């Protein structure tokens, strides 16, 4: 008790000093705070500025083509750089067909993977499996393309395409010589690339479904699959749809892997074996060689269309995911 007593007295003196000190510092720290605030605001504004810049550059770059062809640009199928006649229909068609083909294959697989990881697999397998599927998303697109050229395409040419044309040839979608390279190869490689995106979102929204839902369904005597179907998937369906649409966004804008295997021919063919062309790959292939302002402008207009479509798709997807996860306590709030 003797110790603190003498200390207490100087403390009072010190505290009065402390009171004056912040008052003296207050002015300078206010200025420093202000500068810091403005600097951070500037970084934040950079994000706005970049999106603004993207929109401005795409709009101003594509003006020439817009004035020359108008809305018809997207409904014409002639692509003739020599005579400066440009229509984007084959590219729009190629992008849509390859992306939907990819979703057709990827969605069941991705949902299966997500269901297995969140609901079925033993606990010790959960982490490694989730990590491995994430790894699939980390592989660069050019490496998928390389693999597709030298492994997937020969496989398709030798086994896959002859098999399809023998048994499903009557549909008309699997006709013609099996080049290997073409719409089907592009769809498959895209499917491999979008699976991790769809499955990670699906996992996220499935985890957001409260466990009481599962317990309630199980208590009614459901089997595990019935529980997953009625208790989990049905509650998470909007979010899963959001994940699928997010995957679509990725597939629409994917460039390198598709460019390497789709064949790059601006044609609209019914058969999935035939080579095609996508919006992203025509930009990748022809942009640096585009001679003439109209040619360049047409390519930028394709870029603008791609930008607008992916933005709409992404916003829609985020909204859908948000409708499922909003109820759960957000990860980000401490």
Cα dihedral 326, 329, 331, 333, rounded to 10, equals 110
Site stretch for another protein (CB under 8 A), options 67-75, 96-104, 203-211, 280-288: 280-288
Residue 53 or residue 104: which is nearer to another protein going by CB?
Answer: 53
Residue choice 63, 78, 84, 108 for contact with another protein (CB under 8 A): 108
Q: How many beta carbons lie within 10 A of that of residue 34, not counting itself?
A: 10
CB of 270 to another protein, least distance (A): 27
Which positions from 284 through 303 interact with another protein, judged by CB under 8 A? 284, 287-288, 299-300, 303
Instruction: Decide: 152 and 257 in contact? Cβ < 8 Å.
Output: no
Residue 5 or residue 332: which is nearer to another protein going by CB?
Answer: 332
104 counts as binding another protein under rule CB under 8 A: no
254 counts as binding another protein under rule CB under 8 A: yes
Strand partners, 80: 85
219 counts as binding another protein under rule CB under 8 A: no
Residue choice 90, 178, 180, 249 for contact with another protein (CB under 8 A): 249
150 counts as binding another protein under rule CB under 8 A: yes
Which positions from 13 through 32 interact with another protein, judged by CB under 8 A? 18, 21-22, 25, 29, 32
DSSP 254-319: --HHHHHHSB------SSTTS-B--HHHHHHHHGGG--SHHHHHHHHHHHHHHHHHHHHHHHHHHH
With a CB cutoff of 8 Å and minimum separation 6, the contacts of 47 are none
Residue 68 or residue 109: which is nearer to another protein going by CB?
Answer: 109
Which positions from 308 through 327 interact with another protein, judged by CB under 8 A? 310-311, 313-315, 318
CB of 291 to another protein, least distance (A): 14
CB of 156 to another protein, least distance (A): 13
Q: How far, in Å, CA of 188 to CA of 193, rounded?
A: 9
CB of 279 to another protein, least distance (A): 9
Site stretch for another protein (CB under 8 A), options 63-71, 160-168, 169-177, 221-229: 221-229
Q: How many beta carbons lie within 10 A of that of residue 129, not counting itself?
A: 14
Q: Catalogue the long-range contacts made by 257-260 (C-beta closer than 8 Å, 24 or more residues apart).
A: 257/141, 257/142, 257/144, 257/145, 257/148, 257/186, 257/189, 257/190, 257/193, 258/98, 258/145, 258/186, 258/189, 258/190, 259/145, 259/284, 259/285, 260/142, 260/145, 260/146, 260/148, 260/149
Which positions from 37 through 96 interact with another protein, judged by CB under 8 A? 37, 39-48, 50-51, 53-54, 57-58, 61
CB of 267 to another protein, least distance (A): 20
How many residues touch another protein under the rule CB under 8 A: the total is 94
141 counts as binding another protein under rule CB under 8 A: yes
């Amino acid at each position: 008790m003797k110790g603190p007593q003498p200390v207490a007295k100087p403390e009072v003196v010190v505290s009065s000093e402390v009171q004056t000190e912040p008052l003296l510092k207050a002015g300078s720290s206010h200025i420093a705070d202000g500068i810091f605030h403005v600097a951070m605001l500037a970084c934040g504004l950079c994000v706005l500025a970049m999106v603004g810049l993207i929109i401005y550059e795409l709009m101003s770059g594509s003006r020439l083509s817009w004035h020359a062809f108008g809305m018809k640009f997207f409904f014409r199928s002639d692509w003739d750089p020599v005579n400066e006649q440009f229509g984007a229909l084959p590219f729009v068609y190629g992008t849509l067909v390859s992306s939907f083909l990819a979703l057709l294959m990827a969605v069941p697989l991705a949902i299966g993977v997500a269901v297995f990881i969140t609901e079925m697999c033993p606990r010790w397998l959960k982490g490694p499996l989730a990590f491995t599927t994430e790894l699939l998303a980390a592989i660069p697109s050019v490496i998928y393309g390389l693999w597709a050229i030298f492994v997937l395409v020969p496989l398709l040419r030798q086994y896959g395409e002859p098999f399809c044309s023998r048994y499903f040839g009557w549909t008309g979608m699997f006709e013609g010589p099996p080049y290997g390279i073409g719409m089907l190869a592009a769809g498959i490689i895209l499917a491999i690339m979008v699976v991790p995106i769809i499955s990670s979102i699906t996992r996220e929204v499935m985890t957001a479904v409260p466990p009481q839902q599962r317990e309630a369904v199980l208590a009614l005597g459901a089997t595990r699959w019935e529980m997953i179907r009625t208790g989990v998937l049905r509650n998470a369906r909007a979010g899963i749809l959001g994940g699928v649409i997010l995957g679509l966004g990725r597939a629409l804008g994917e460039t390198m892997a598709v460019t390497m295997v789709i064949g790059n021919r601006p044609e609209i063919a019914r058969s999935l074996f035939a080579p095609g062309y996508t919006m992203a790959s025509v930009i990748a292939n022809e942009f640096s060689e585009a001679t003439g302002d109209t040619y360049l402008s047409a390519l930028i207009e394709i870029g603008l269309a791609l930008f607008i479509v992916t933005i709409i798709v992404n916003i829609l997807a985020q909204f859908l995911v948000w409708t499922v996860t909003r109820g759960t306590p957000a990860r980000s709030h401490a």
